[in-house]
Amino acid sequence: MGVKVGRKRVARLMRLNDLSCLPRMRFQVTTDSRHHEPVAENILDRKFDVAESNTVWVSDITYLPTSEGWLYLCVVIDLLDRMVVGWSMRTDMAAAIVIDTFAMAIMRRQPRGHLVFHSDRGI
């Protein structure tokens, strides 16, 4: 709006209105690329156009800051319709979050035939 104000004025006005700011959350590293686990070949190769449902699923994990700490969210998406077919949340980055998410996706969609499951190279 083009109104210039100083930091102390903003602080005073916020105090008068019982407002406070939240501190920035520290950056959280979620991918560990320095592991000794086998790494699968990237057969998806950025080909995101799919002709059939339940043939290519993609997955990733993100983290959400909460007042009680980090919450990790894993999601599986079908590339044809971009629908979320499975999800799981945990307070830690254990491999179980991916297994639970994939199991939910299998249970909900029950894919038949060939399925490509693509995720990052984290856990």
**Domain spans of the chain, in order of start:** 27-32+41-118
* 63-120 residue pLDDT tens: 898 888 889 999 999 999 999 999 999 999 888 999 999 999 999 999 999 999 998 7
Please say whether the beta carbons of 73 and 90 come within 8 A: no
Q: How far apart are CA 12 and CA 19, in angstroms?
A: 10
Q: In this predicted structure, what is the pLDDT of residue 97?
A: 92
- pTM, two decimals, is 0.68
Q: How far apart are CA 98 and CA 103, in angstroms?
A: 8
Q: How far apart are CA 33 and CA 121, in angstroms?
A: 6
DSSP per-residue string spanning 9-61: HHHHHHHHTT--PPPPPPP---------S------STT----SSTTSEEEEEE
* 7-29 residue pLDDT tens: 999 999 999 999 988 777 666 66
Burial class (CB in 10 A: 0-12, 13-18, 19+), 97: buried
Q: Are strands 56-66 and 84-90 parallel, antiparallel or unpaired?
A: unpaired
* 44-65 residue pLDDT tens: 888 888 899 999 999 999 989 8
Q: Which numeric CATH code is attached to 27-32+41-118?
A: 3.30.420.10
